[in-house]
Structure 1
Amino acid sequence: MRRLLLAMLAVLAAAFGAFVVGMRRKSPVLQDRVRRFSKNYMTPAVLPTAGRAGQSNGVVHHRGRRSGREYSTPVTPVAITGGFLIALPYTARVDWARNILAAGRARVDFDGRGHEVTDPVVVPFAEVAHLLPRGSRIAAKVFALEEFLLLRTVDGES
């Protein structure tokens, strides 16, 4: 029984290691699979409570740049003075980020409040690392997150 448990732990550790390496190297195959899994399974599970008071994740509401359709995407924003930072683990080429960049504005629901945001800019990790909490900095380094979306709140608060 102990050998089986150790073998299972070894397989899990190897799988996690492969996942981290794949994300760090921005493997298109891995990122596409993770993105699809997230869209099909995680988004429906997280979206109902995202943005509510006490939740660590939020929701960014944006309009499709071609369709004009309204979308809601769960994200993990980091509140900073005058706005938010959102990690872009799949780079700024994801549809929701491209929609916000094209529109120049969106709404972020976070910690029970809605925030109109504007002036979206993709910034490198090195430029905003000092603004991130320790846990976010560590995660950014482990997964080699190179890009963040900087959003300014319209009212200057966050």
Structure 2
Amino acid sequence: MVLPKTLARFNRIATNRVAGRIAPHMPGMGLLTHVGRRSGRRYRTPLNAFPTRDGYVLPVTYGADSDWVRNVLAAGGGDLTTRGRTVRLEQARLVTDRTRAAVPAVARPLLGLAGVDEFVFLTEAAGGSSDTPPSGSDGD
């Protein structure tokens, strides 16, 4: 079971406005910039983000039908600002992993309690980094 959609709606309206300002600088978090698959609009979504050998893994806390997941999968990637650095990510793929092995050990029990076992894996694009983070937050 993933977190309820009512919590996702509340986060989009209230929490994301604050989290969007601090997430790009916090360990284990990031601000994902992605393009709407139908609207073409740019969205910024604060979320958990953990580095992997070749990119990042993003836990899917509200289910694979979340807008940010569908947008990133449709576009094949997006930009992630984390720890004050922006990286271009590509090769988006949705993976189910009940062991949660790709995330740090400290995060596994919390994600397990929330029933999170789906993750979006992204590969860092060659030469895809910048030091200028996007501002604001307005997406799910």
Could you say which TM-score interval applies, normalised by the shorter chain?
Answer: 0.7 to 0.9
1:46 matched residue in structure 2: 19
Q: Residue 60 of structure 2 contacts residue 119 of structure 2 at CA under 8 Å; is this kept in 1?
A: yes
Give how far 1:157 is off.
9.1
Question: Alignment partner for residue 93 of structure 1, among 56, 59, 65?
Answer: 65
Q: Which is bigger in relative contact order (C-alpha 8 A, separation at least 6)?
A: 2
Is contact 1:51-1:57 (8 Å) kept? yes
Give secondary structure in 1 for the equivalent of 2:9: helix
Q: Does 1:34 align with 2:7?
A: yes
* Aligned mate of 1:130, from 101, 109, 117: 101
Relative to 1, partners in 2 of residues 1:103 and 1:157: Cα closer, same or farther, differing over 3 Å? closer
Equivalent residue pairs, number? 129
SS at match of 1:154: strand
Q: Which has the greater radius of gyration?
A: 1
Evaluate the alpha carbon distance shift between residue 146 and residue 113 of structure 1 in structure 2; reply closer, same or farther with a 3 A threshold: same
SS in 1 for 2:21: coil
Question: Cα RMSD between the aligned structures?
Answer: 2.1
Partner of 1:18: none
What SS does the corresponding residue of 1:138 show, helix, strand or coil? helix
Distance change >3 Å, CA 73–CA 140, structure 1 → 2: same
Q: Which has the higher helix share?
A: 1
Q: CA deviation at 1:40?
A: 1.1
Identify the structure with the greater strand proportion: 2
**Runs of 5+ in structure 1 lacking a partner?**
1-23
